[in-house]
């Protein structure tokens, strides 16, 4: 009997302790591209600040911004600028979306080091991926059928490539779809006729990163907005961030947060 | 003594009853898992067909599940890729598995057998991801050079690897079947003047036939459900296979690659469950087939004895 009393008392105490430290809740929703950044930084942030609880959901940029406008979330993650229509809808609801760039997303188009081609235009890359161009000789290389390597259609990398290069057209069906950036780099390194695309973090001596529209992909050219296959990634808030949301965003932008950004394969802002 | 005995007996009976219930519930746990899995597959897979017609799913040739404006859910290339790669694997595993089984049980000297049989069993225990590595690092480069292919990641590489993987399954079941063939059948054949080869081909193989076929069916079912190897080695192009040297994208690797990043509850999500449902029905059919064939085999031998 006494044991139960002790148990009950402990339970009450624990519960009270929980209630006393009511957690600060932040909900982030939106872009699947930004998702890993939000997820990783939130995990680290919660380790250091156990009184803050951050939950991260995917759904896409449009969903994230819509939820922010509806007041359902504190942060809407987006891999594109907010659209004018969305701004109008936000204003009609008294919401003032403000974007904070948390990282840059840059994709390198890579070929085998044995390939004589060292640069392509964005239009040429698009033609290769949509199937208009199938032979290296059509883009100034040594004649040979191009082996097109792409990412799985549900990955954020594919989504970014589809938007920045393919402009919503479909990838040729005979493209080899690989499950990770690493697998794409590996396949291109082993295949003399291959072309692929990976996050900037996956460029190595075993593959050759092509200059696109004459610009070599690097953290510098991406940050200077010169490299075309790149885009900023946003976290939108209602007005300038305040309180717990500001503290979290400050962490994301801090050197520790940006280090996580680089680890996941995105371009850090500094 | 006489007073204690009924109590002890009683206790023993109770204990036996407890054991019975414990083991019965353990046995039913796997049944519960099977029912649960089937229910989830149907529950999540069926809604897909409310959004996409059966015709588009089974006859469509474009697999663009995440395209924003015009998604396509044509599973034909994926289904055919699974069939194609598995057919290739059967061409490898049947001669290897059945040949090994016949050699082990009929022709092999006992010393060699005590070495060969464990070897085949170890092969069965190697994790499939290791087979995948082997395919990427060794088989694919060899085929790439040998056939002068743009890439070694193709149906042939996947088939060969799957074939090797399925060989132990085929071999051990076929070997059991062959060793169950009663000795008097062999002796009768030899007594009638048949040589070893004639005995093997005309007597032993027909007698063990349905057991061998059971092994082949279960091996095939293992190959068609294998995921890691095809994800790593088949190339991943969702096109209808027209030769063995082209990259393909079987059902299993599609599910594995896309499930992690799809939005829960979306059409794409349900489409992956629908693919899983097809795979489940195929392997289910194969298992029933194997069961039916092996029943026949047992009855036949029973009659001979």
Q: Look at residue B63 and give its three-state secondary structure.
A: strand
Asked if B227 and B269 sit in the same domain, the reply is yes
How far B282 CA sits from the closest chain A CA (Å)? 25
Asked if B138 and B287 sit in the same domain, the reply is yes
The verdict on a CB contact (< 8 Å) between B261 and A152 is yes
Q: Residues spanned by CATH 3.40.190.10 within chain A?
A: 2-104+232-264, 105-230
How far A221 CA sits from the closest chain B CA (Å)? 29
* Confidence (pTM): 0.76
CATH of region A105-230: 3.40.190.10
The verdict on a CB contact (< 8 Å) between A173 and B66 is no
Asked if B110 and B202 sit in the same domain, the reply is yes
Q: Which residues of B touch A134 (CB under 8 A)?
A: none
Task: State which residues form the domain around B36.
Answer: 4-50
A-B contacts at Cβ under 8 angstroms: 83
Give chain A as a 3 state SS string: CHHHHHHHHHHHHHHHHHHHCCCEEEEEEECCCCHHHHHHHHHHHHHHCCCEEEEEEEECHHHHHHHHHCCCCCEEEECCCCCHHHHHHHHHCCCCEEEEEEEEEEEEEEECCCCCCCEECHHHHHHHHHCCCCEHHHHCCCCCECEEEEECCCCHHHHHHHHHHHCCCCCCCCCEEECCHHHHHHHHHHCCCEEEEEEHHHCCCCCEECEECCECCCHHHHHCCCCCCEEEEEEEEECCCCHHHHHHHHHHHCHHHHHHHHHHCCECCC
For A174, the closest of B65, B69, B239 (CB atoms) is B239
> Which residues fall within 8 angstroms of residue A7, CB to CB, at 6 or more apart?
none
Q: What is the pLDDT of residues B148-181, one digit of tens each?
A: 888 899 999 999 999 999 999 999 999 998 988 8
Q: What is the pLDDT of residues B230-244, one digit of tens each?
A: 999 999 999 999 999
For A154, the closest of B151, B232, B268 (CB atoms) is B268
Q: Which residues of A touch B235 (CB under 8 A)?
A: 176
Mutation target to probe the A interface, by most A beta carbons within 10 A, among B261, B262, B264 is B261
Number of domains into which chain B is organized? 2
Asked if B112 and B208 sit in the same domain, the reply is yes
The verdict on a CB contact (< 8 Å) between B64 and A170 is yes
Asked if B46 and B85 sit in the same domain, the reply is no
Asked if B172 and B278 sit in the same domain, the reply is yes
Asked if B256 and B278 sit in the same domain, the reply is yes
Mean pLDDT of chain A: 89
The verdict on a CB contact (< 8 Å) between B150 and A147 is yes
Asked if B160 and B38 sit in the same domain, the reply is no
Asked if B68 and B36 sit in the same domain, the reply is no
Pick the CATH number of A2-104+232-264 from 3.40.190.10, 3.30.750.24, 1.10.3720.10, 2.30.30.90: 3.40.190.10
Asked if B165 and B38 sit in the same domain, the reply is no
Asked if B103 and B201 sit in the same domain, the reply is yes
Q: What is the pLDDT of residues B52-103, one digit of tens each?
A: 999 999 999 999 998 877 889 999 999 999 999 999 999 999 999 999 999 9
Q: Residues of A at the B interface (Cβ-Cβ below 8 Å)?
A: 32, 58-60, 144-145, 147, 152-156, 158-159, 168, 170-171, 173-179, 183, 186-187, 190-194
> pLDDT tens, position by position, for chain A (270 residues)?
566 766 666 666 666 555 555 678 999 998 878 888 999 999 999 999 999 999 998 777 888 898 999 999 999 999 888 888 889 989 999 999 999 999 998 899 999 999 999 999 999 999 999 999 999 999 999 999 999 999 888 777 888 898 899 988 999 999 999 988 888 999 999 999 999 999 887 888 999 999 999 999 998 999 998 999 998 999 999 999 999 999 999 999 999 999 999 888 889 997
The verdict on a CB contact (< 8 Å) between B261 and A178 is no
The verdict on a CB contact (< 8 Å) between A153 and B65 is yes
Nearest residue in A to B238, CA atom? A173
């Amino acid at each position: 009997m006494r044991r139960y009393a002790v148990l009950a008392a402990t339970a009450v105490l624990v519960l009270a302790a929980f209630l006393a430290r009511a957690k600060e809740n932040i909900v982030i929703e939106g872009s699947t591209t930004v998702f890993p950044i939000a997820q990783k930084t939130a995990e680290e942030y919660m380790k250091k600040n156990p009184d803050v609880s951050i939950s991260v959901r995917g759904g896409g940029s449009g969903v994230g911004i819509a939820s922010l406008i509806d007041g359902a979330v504190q942060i809407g993650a987006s891999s594109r600028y907010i659209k004018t229509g969305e701004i109008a809808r936000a204003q009609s609801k008294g919401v003032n979306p403000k974007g904070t760039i948390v990282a840059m997303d840059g994709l390198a188009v890579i070929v085998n080091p044995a390939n004589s081609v060292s640069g392509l235009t964005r239009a040429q890359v698009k033609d290769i991926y949509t199937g208009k161009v199938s032979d290296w000789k059509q883009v100034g290389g040594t004649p040979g059928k191009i082996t097109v390597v792409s990412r799985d259609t549900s990955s954020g990398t594919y989504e970014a490539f589809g938007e920045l290069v393919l402009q919503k057209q479909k990838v040729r069906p005979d493209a080899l779809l690989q499950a990770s950036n690493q697998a794409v780099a590996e396949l291109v390194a082993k295949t003399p006729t291959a072309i692929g695309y990976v996050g900037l973090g996956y460029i190595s001596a075993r593959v050759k990163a092509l200059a696109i529209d004459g610009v070599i992909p690097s953290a510098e050219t991406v940050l200077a907005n010169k490299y075309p296959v790149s885009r900023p990634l946003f976290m939108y808030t209602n007005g300038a961030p305040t309180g717990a949301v500001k503290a979290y965003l400050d962490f994301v932008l801090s050197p520790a947060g940006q280090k996580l950004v680089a680890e996941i394969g995105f371009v850090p802002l500094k | 003594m006489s007073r204690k005995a009924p109590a002890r007996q009683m206790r023993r009976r109770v204990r036996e009853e407890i054991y019975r219930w414990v083991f019965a519930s353990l046995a039913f746990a796997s049944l519960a898992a099977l029912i649960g899995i089937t229910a989830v597959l149907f529950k999540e897979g069926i809604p897909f067909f409310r959004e996409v017609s059966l015709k588009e799913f089974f006859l469509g040739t474009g697999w663009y599940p995440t395209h924003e404006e015009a998604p396509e859910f044509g599973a034909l290339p994926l289904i055919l890729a699974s069939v194609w790669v598995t057919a290739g694997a059967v061409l490898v595993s049947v001669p290897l598995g059945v040949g090994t089984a016949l050699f082990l049980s009929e022709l092999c000297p006992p010393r060699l057998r005590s070495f060969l049989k464990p070897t085949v069993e170890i092969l069965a225990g190697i994790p499939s991801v290791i087979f995948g590595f082997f395919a990427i690092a060794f088989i694919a480069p060899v085929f790439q050079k040998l056939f002068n292919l743009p890439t070694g990641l193709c149906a042939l590489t996947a088939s060969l690897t799957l074939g090797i993987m399925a060989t132990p399954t085929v071999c051990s079941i076929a070997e059991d079947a062959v060793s169950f063939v009663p000795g008097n059948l062999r002796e009768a054949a030899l007594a009638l003047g048949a040589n070893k080869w004639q005995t093997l081909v005309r007597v032993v193989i027909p007698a063990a036939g349905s057991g061998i076929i059971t092994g082949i069916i279960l091996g095939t079912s293992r190959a068609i459900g294998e995921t890691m190897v095809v994800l790593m080695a088949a190339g991943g192009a969702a096109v209808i296979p027209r030769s063995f040297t082209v990259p393909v994208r079987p059902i299993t690797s599609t599910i594995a690659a896309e499930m992690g990043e799809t939005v829960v509850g979306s059409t794409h999500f349900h489409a992956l469950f629908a693919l899983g449902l097809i795979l489940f029905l195929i392997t289910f059919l194969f298992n029933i087939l194997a069961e039916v064939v092996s029943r026949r085999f047992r009855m036949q031998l029973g009659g001979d004895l």
